[in-house]
Structures are given as C-alpha cells and as structure tokens.
Structure 1
Amino acid sequence: MIVKNLISCEPQEEASVPLTFDVVHPANQKVVFQVERSSTESCAKAVENCQRAFTSWKVSPLDHRCAIVEEAARLIEDESSGWAARLAAANIQETSSTKWWTEFQLKDVTGFMRELIQACKEVIQSQTIAGHNAEIIVDREPFGVCLAIAAWNAVHLLTARAIITPLLAGNTVVLKSSEHTPYTQRLWGELLYAAGLPPGCLSVVHVAKEDASDLVSQLLADKRIRHLNFTGSTAVGSILASLAGKHLKPTLMELGGKAPVLLLPDADLVTASSHIILGSFLNAGQICMSTERVLVAKSRYRELVAAIQETWTNTSVSETPALFSSSSAERVKSLIRDARQKGASSVIGNDMESLSGSYVSRTILGPAQNDMEIYREETFGPVSIIVTIDDESKSNDEVIDEMIELANDTDFGLTASVWSRNPVRALGVARQLECGAVHINAPTAADVPKVPHGGWKASGWGRFNGVEGIRIEVGIGDPHALPLHIFDL
C-alpha cells in the first residue's frame, strides 16, 4: 500500500508509481507503509488548490463551516460509519500507541471539536465601538492559506486542532504530515471531506525526513502561505520560527516541556504518587506535558519514595510501549546511565539494559542533582527525577520559595503541578511559576478544550484551544467608520 498525498479531496492519481519513503513500526522495525514522497511541484500544487478554494471558503457562512465540523464529530461517534475504527487502526499500525491511548484520544476529540465550534461562534463576529462622531465596526478576517504541522505522539488531538481551528476561522490549510503518522493524518483529511468540506480547502502532503528542510522552507517562502501553526520539538520550532520570521509570517508554537511537580510541605504524598506515575509514564512519557521533575522537601524524600513504590506495586500496568525510534530510546537510556553514574538511584525501574531496540523501562530516579544531564534536558521518555530541597532549619515559606526557584530554573515553561492541602497557598505558588498552565492537586499532563493551552519561554508562544485558539488564526480586518465625515479645508 502506498499512502498518497491528499490534494483537493481525492488522492492524486499518478501515471507512474511516485517516489516513496518507508514508515517503520518502532517496536519491530518492520515497514508498515510506503508513503508518497512530496516534491517541489506537489507542495506548490497543494498551496495553489488551497488558495483557489480560499476565495469561496472565507465568505462561507460560519454556520456552514461549523456544521461540517459537527458532522465530522458525528461520524467519529457513529460506530456504523467505521471512521473511529479506521483512525484507531491506522494510528496503531504506524506507531507503538496503545489501544487505550488511541481510543482515549478519539473519545476526547469529538468534545474538543464541539468546543472549537462554540469558541468560533464567540470570536467570529463584528465588534462595534463608539468612536468620534462615528461607530467603528471591527471585523476578524481569516489569513488565507495556513501551514499546519502536527506531531505524531497524540496524533488525533494534535491533528484535529491543527487543521480544524484554522478551517473554522475561514482559512484553508496545507497539513504537512509527520513522517511517523502520514496515513492517520491523511485519514483526518478524508474524514473532513466526507463530512462535506469543499474541495481544495485542505491538502495533506507527506514529506520525507531528508526533504523536510527544503520543502518546508519552500512552503514558508510562498507568499500564499499566510500563517503557521506547529506542534513539535523546541529544536525544530526554533528553525521554523526563524524561517517564518524571515518572511514575516505569524506563528503559533507549542514546543517541548520539562514539567515540574511541586510537593509543598503539607502535600498528600500518597495521593500525589499515583498522579506522578501517571504523568511520568502516560504514552511512555512521549507527551510534552509529561512529568519530568518532582520537587520535595528532603525530610519527606523517603516517605515519597515509599508512597511511589507502594502505588507502583499495586498498579496494574500494561507492557512498556516502544518509543518512536531506537535512537530516541538510546538517548533516554544514556540520560539514565549518566544520572546513575552521578549518584541517582532507581525508585522505579532497574531492568533498563534488558530491553532492546526502541524499548525503555519505566523509571523514576532520585535524588537528582543539577550536574546530571537529565536535570535540564527534556527526556521525552518514561522517566522522571526527584529533586530534594534541604529543609533543615528552614521555614515552610523558605522551602516553598526554593521550590519555585528550582521549578523556574529551566528553559521550558509548558505545564506544572502543585500539591498542597491548602488550595489558597497552592494557587499563590501557581501564580509564581513561569509556565502556560499549572494544575493544582492534579497531574502535569492535562488539557481542557475550552481553556487556552500553550507555553512560555522555550515551550513556545500563542495558544491553542478555546477563544484564544480561534483568535490567533484570524487577523483584525480594516475598521469601518459609519458615518463618514468629509471636512472642507
């Protein structure tokens, strides 16, 4: 099977077999699909079709656009349509995603789609402002053709928000698929066309890793591309931001994270331990909001270790899923080795070397020091560290201040979690953390569809979700003043 580009609303028929690249399953290293390798010409055609469709799509009634997204959500929920089964099967074929993780996304994504519909209805309307002898009408207008690049690790949620948000706002979209999930992301395009999306409003192009730099540069240099939204690594985001800046293209970026859990002196460690485990190991830690650091007073370290170990012993866990590549797994193992060599012990996980290929044992290490590579690097694997704060002869306020300082001592700033029996104190701490979202007495990995989601610092800028997610996909149109006054000079 060759997974082809989706330009307009049908896969492009080629006179001959196109150049392809392979999708290799990370667990067994077997080729699962061959994928059409996009060229300069096919990317240009994708943009051309989207630009042509934009003329009519931008003036289509908002209710019409919302109805298409609602129909797509209905198709996912309707078992007889087969769409949920197709999307789930494709994701599991291409990646090591578990059945639970895939089904969780598909159950969650329909509610997310409906929240976007509601947010769009709140944002896409004219605003009237009383001005000097006039009423000023301010409209929000779509940009035009948007480039969307969504990561593979939560492919259904990330793809949906990357393409549906700009489409609802009246833009057309070129989606550059991840080389790890091209089939799943093409199916999302097919789903929207099945729901009634007009031809040309969405194109899905597959780009081989070795071509990515040249073809994405070409897309961002194209004057018809007016906006970029990207979810992925900080390293790639930095390159894309530079390219977009060169061509003065506005961007929305959600990048990496190094999420801390702050266990304040009065925290319930038993309850927190289950959320630390969830946040550390969900999807093998391959989530930008994964728990990476746990901060606790030194006097409570042993109590925390005991709570985590007991919770882990009593937790029913599935087989460790593979990471997305063997090189990623080896990088994570290297971080673990470095931490152990510098004094960290395993709170959970001792069989790292027994796992080969793309597998890494679920691991929590402690106590960690700031000279360890894992202290600062995003692991993007099933690993977290415990950092202790010396609380001898210190007040609780002094300990908390040091926790805040350590939590902010990172280049990243996506999410965090604060645990305390005193919600007022926890909220006060949350407001001092340099990150996009802080969850109180909850895991670091959480996202509410109607709430703005994004990061600070090297975790990106702009916001997905809710009304802010819609606003960032539109520009302010030319204000109109009524009545017009002509002055005789």
Structure 2
Amino acid sequence: MLSASAVRAAMRPRDITSRGLHLLKQMALINGEWVGAASGRTFQVMNPAENSVVATVPDMNAEDTQKAIRAAADAFTTWQDVTAKDRSILLRKWYNLLVQNQNEIATIMTSESGKPIKESLGEVTYGNSFIEWFSEEARRINGEIIPSPQQSKQIFLTRQPIGPVALITPWNFPHAMIARKAGASLAAGCTCVIKPAEDTPLTALAMAQLAQDAGIPKGVINVITSDRKNAPEIGKLLCQSPLIAGVSFTGSTAVGKILYEQCADGVKRIGLELGGNAPFVVFNNADLNKAVQGAMVSKFRNCGQTCVSANRFLIQDEVFDEFVSMICDTMKTTLVIGNGKDEHVTIGPLINDNQMRTVKNLVDDAVAKGAKVMVGGKTAEKYGDKFFEPTVLTNITEDMAVYGKEIFGPVVVCIRFKDEQEALDIANCTRSGLAAYVYSNDIAQVFRVSKKLEFGMVGVNEGLISTTEAAFGGVKESGIGREGSSHGIDDYIYIKYVCLGNL
C-alpha cells in the first residue's frame, strides 16, 4: 500500500519535458489518423511564463480543414444511428479516461497557457463534468406526442442531430470549452471538427487521444491546428461549408460577429459565447468580507482572463473606501505571481504579447487621465515579459478606456455610485451582457436588481457561478444560445414533426 507521501508525489503534476507524458501530441487528428499539414508547415506552441517551446504542431489551412469536414460528414452517416445508450456508454468511457489522466492534462495545460497548476486541475475537473453530464443527457433527448385535433391523425415530434458541427474554442479554457461543446454535440448524435486556439492546441489533442482510447469511432472527433494567420480562412470554410450543419464559437465579440455573418449565407445553426463586461455591484448593506472574497475569485482566476471575470467594480459611496482598502490588503497577502508550475503561484502570465500590451495600455491610459493606482499598476518584469501586477484603480471617469472596455487582465476598476438606479444605469451601459454580480443583504433589492440587470447570468453574493448543471450564456452582444445544463443539447438538435394520417 502506498504511503501518504507517495500518494502526494504521484498526484504532483509532472514537468512537461517528462517522457511519461504520453498525451503530448504533436500531430492533428483527422478521420482517426494523426496527421501533419498537407503543406508540411508547423508552428511552435510557447509557454508564456518561460517563452520556451512546449511542442510543435501542424500549421493547417483550408485544404486540411476540408479533409476534416469530409471525415466528420462521412462519420455522421453512421454515428447518428448509434443508439443513445451506446453514445452514453462511449461518453462515459471518455469521461473515465479524462479523470484518470487529469494530472497529465493539467500539466500540459499549464505549460501552454501559463495558468497556475491548481487552476488547471480545477478546469480539468470542471471540464470533465460536462462529459459526464452529457453522457447522461444522451439518454434523455426525448420526443413528444401531441393530441391531434382530428381523430384520423396522430402527431408526434422527434429530436434529431443536426449533422456535423464545427467547434471553435478559445485559449483561456482549452479543456472546459471543448468538453462542454463536444460533450453536447456527441450526445445529440453529431460529429465534430474542433479548431482549438493557436495558443493552446495541446490540451485539445490530449483530449482527442483519450476519446480515441475510449472507442469513439474515427471521424466523430477531428482536431485541426493552425497558427493565427490561417485561422480566418479556416473559420470561413467551417461557416460556409454545406457539409457543416452548425457552428459553436467561444471567443471575442468581434470574431463572433464575423462568424455570424459568414454563417448567414447557409442559414446555419450557430451558438456564440462572446465577450463580457461584468459589473460587480456592492451595495451599502452588503457583507464586505463575502464581497471581497467573491471579488478575488471572480477577478483573478486565470489572471483575469475569463469572459465572466468581474470587470467594473461598482461600489456604493458609504462602503467604497472600506471595500477598496480590504481588497487591496487581501491582494497583497494572498496573490502570488510566478510560473504556474509552482503550486504556490496564484497569478500566472498573460497569454501573449498582444494581451500584455492591451492590459498595459488600458492601465496607462487610465493613469494618464487621472486614475489613482492603489496597488500594482505596472508590468512585473522580474517574473517574465508577460506578467502584470495585480492592480487596483480608483478615481475612474467615463473618458477612460477601462470604464467601458473588457480588460481581460488582473485589473480591478473601482467606480463609485450613489443609489440603486445609478448602479443599474452604469452596469447596463454596455452592449455586452454575459455575467453580472450583486452583493446585497436586502432580499427585495436582490430581486429588483437581478431582474433589471441586462445580463444572461447573475451571481448574487457569489463570485463563482459556472457549473455544469446551469445554463451558461449571455444576452445582447454576448452571445446566442446556452451551454451546459439540459439546454446545452439544443444547439445540436432539430425538431422533426411527423403527422400520421388516415388512421
């Protein structure tokens, strides 16, 4: 029997250079085969904390993508007829393998994304839960019998898979975003072509290897990799190919709008989970300890690089100074900057140079226009060129870019408000509508504000709202459709009406 120390050692994530990492794939997956780009081109996947090469993967283009689309279309002819029970069993096998290999997947994820290893392990657990959930939902995609207005007719509805789908996923959650899309699409009976972000393709490839190991048939899951320059042509083909029945995309609002327009020509099913600009509203009657705790979870997970990160902290006058003081103190004592491989680190690097420039420019603009830096405010170059200090800004005015722009970095922007209506006006003055957070101990106020906030998800006295069982998605320009929950299947099925006459 293993000792406690041996168990802890076995659970400790390994270095990416370990020869034991059998899931570190450097080829793409098309029709069950691990292949390179037809052109022979490759690109390097970099560790943002170390600026070191993690792996080299195929730099694919539209020609390669067409092969993946054809493979998914061919596989759909048989996969759609696999019983719901058998699809459920295969998804469950995939889930079991994902759980068994969670430490290796987390190690790969930290190496390519830079996020702290504890967060990577948390994401793998979260992502795996979607595969488990949809393995169960596969057997609950039920039809309906409708009472007919005429005795000679019988009316019933069936739910059928829409066909092969394209899943385009972001770099900030390279495991969970694939899991909640692929889990739902496979459960519904669809096949898929997955295009992971160029910054983080290795997690997707590891998941695909385990899907193969679980016995999911060839062509049901295909993964194509490409550098940033080929992404537009690949996205356009996925949207416009007549063989692709639907597209699911998580990423920026700007790219989402392009894909939405490209899908229009084929009147194609589309699901979009786009950018957020989450308000974090703290009223005078709030429990400030809970508010600060929720703010830390919401703001600094993945270095602030999440679509549901609190972006604008709206603090009522009476508690503004106290809240700012408390969050500054908490940041100083709990946040640890460094390489995500270190289990003590809580703040890793930003994903790439472009994101680093964006965050720095936003903070510099605010400071130049009169914002006060309470904590941080500059790059943390001693850790590497993609690290930025956790920052708190006050004296925010409307002419500052941080007032209305999604930051996607470890920056807390504190804005005063006088009353409930002003808080709502500021919170809703954005075209984004993904997530919002409210801290109040007045139950009547909670119901009023939750109803009036123009966001698809609202956390009340809670900073961590994502869970498999809940419907995830936004309103306005933050997206179309919902992921997770029983509604996560909806994007991948259509309803067929059958009328039996002359009975």
TM-score strictly above 0.5: yes
**What CA RMSD, in Å, does the superposition of the two structures yield over aligned residues?**
1.9
User: Where does structure 1 lack aligned partners over 5 or more consecutive residues?
Assistant: 392-398
Q: CA deviation at 1:13?
A: 6.9
* Contact 2:25–2:205, Cα closer than 8 Å, also in 1: no
State the one-letter code of the partner of 2:456: G
Q: CA deviation at 1:353?
A: 6.5
Does 2:466 match 1:447? yes
* Contact 1:2–1:34, Cα closer than 8 Å, also in 2: no
State the one-letter code of the partner of 2:393: L
Structure 1 residues 67 and 296: alpha-carbon distance in aligned structure 2, compared to 1, 3 A threshold: same
105-114 or 345-354, larger mean C-alpha shift? 345-354
Question: What is aligned with 1:221?
Answer: 240
Does 2:115 match 1:112? no
423-432 or 354-363, larger mean C-alpha shift? 354-363
Does 2:156 match 1:129? no
301-310 or 232-241, larger mean C-alpha shift? 301-310
Question: What is aligned with 1:54?
Answer: 76
Does 2:407 match 1:384? no
State the one-letter code of the partner of 2:205: R
**C-alpha distance in structure 2 between counterparts of 1:466 and 1:135, whole Å:** 31
Does 2:403 match 1:357? no
Does 2:160 match 1:141? yes
Match of 1:102 among 91, 98, 120: 120
Match of 1:341 among 341, 351, 368: 368
* Contact 1:327–1:358, Cα closer than 8 Å, also in 2: no
Question: What is aligned with 1:10?
Answer: 33
379-388 or 271-280, larger mean C-alpha shift? 271-280
Q: CA deviation at 1:237?
A: 0.8
313-322 or 453-462, larger mean C-alpha shift? 313-322
Does 2:52 match 1:30? yes
* Contact 1:144–1:225, Cα closer than 8 Å, also in 2: yes
358-367 or 251-260, larger mean C-alpha shift? 358-367
Q: CA deviation at 1:87?
A: 1.4
Q: CA deviation at 1:297?
A: 1.8
Structure 1 residues 113 and 197: alpha-carbon distance in aligned structure 2, compared to 1, 3 A threshold: same
Q: CA deviation at 1:132?
A: 1.8
Match of 2:485 among 466, 474, 477: 466
Aligned-partner SS, 2:473? coil
The superposition leaves residues 384-419 of structure 1 with CA deviations (integer Å, 9 ceiling, x where unpaired) of 211101x3xxxxxxx111111110011211101111
1:406-425 maps to which residues of 2 (within 5 A)?
406-425=426-445
TM-score (norm 2): 0.89
* Contact 1:367–1:385, Cα closer than 8 Å, also in 2: no
468-477 or 433-442, larger mean C-alpha shift? 468-477
**C-alpha distance in structure 1 between counterparts of 2:132 and 2:113, whole Å:** 27
State the one-letter code of the partner of 2:58: E
Q: CA deviation at 1:111?
A: 2.6
Aligned-partner SS, 1:265? coil
Q: CA deviation at 1:316?
A: 5.4
Aligned-partner SS, 2:355? helix
The superposition leaves residues 34-90 of structure 1 with CA deviations (integer Å, 9 ceiling, x where unpaired) of 211213332111111111111111011101111111111112233xxxx22331222
Structure 1 residues 440 and 421: alpha-carbon distance in aligned structure 2, compared to 1, 3 A threshold: same
Q: CA deviation at 1:2?
A: 7.4
State the one-letter code of the partner of 1:98: P
State the one-letter code of the partner of 1:338: D
Percent identity over paired residues? 29
Does 2:446 match 1:426? yes
**C-alpha distance in structure 2 between counterparts of 1:433 and 1:406, whole Å:** 10
106-115 or 193-202, larger mean C-alpha shift? 106-115
Q: CA deviation at 1:181?
A: 1.4
**C-alpha distance in structure 1 between counterparts of 2:474 and 2:368, whole Å:** 32
The superposition leaves residues 259-306 of structure 1 with CA deviations (integer Å, 9 ceiling, x where unpaired) of 111112211222211211221111100100001111112232212122
**C-alpha distance in structure 1 between counterparts of 2:136 and 2:450, whole Å:** 29
State the one-letter code of the partner of 2:375: I
160-169 or 25-34, larger mean C-alpha shift? 25-34
Question: What is aligned with 1:198?
Answer: 217
Q: CA deviation at 1:178?
A: 1.2
Aligned-partner SS, 1:447? coil
Question: What is aligned with 2:92?
Answer: 70
TM-score (norm 1): 0.92
Aligned-partner SS, 1:261? strand
* Contact 2:36–2:58, Cα closer than 8 Å, also in 1: no
Residue correspondences, number: 469
Q: CA deviation at 1:354?
A: 4.9
Aligned-partner SS, 1:139? strand
Structure 1 residues 37 and 484: alpha-carbon distance in aligned structure 2, compared to 1, 3 A threshold: farther
State the one-letter code of the partner of 1:129: I
Question: What is aligned with 1:267?
Answer: 286
Q: CA deviation at 1:194?
A: 1.0
Question: What is aligned with 1:396?
Answer: none
Tell me which stretches of 4 or more aligned residues in structure 1 moved more than 4 Å.
353-356
User: Where does structure 2 lack aligned partners over 5 or more consecutive residues?
Assistant: 1-23, 339-346
Question: What is aligned with 1:283?
Answer: 302
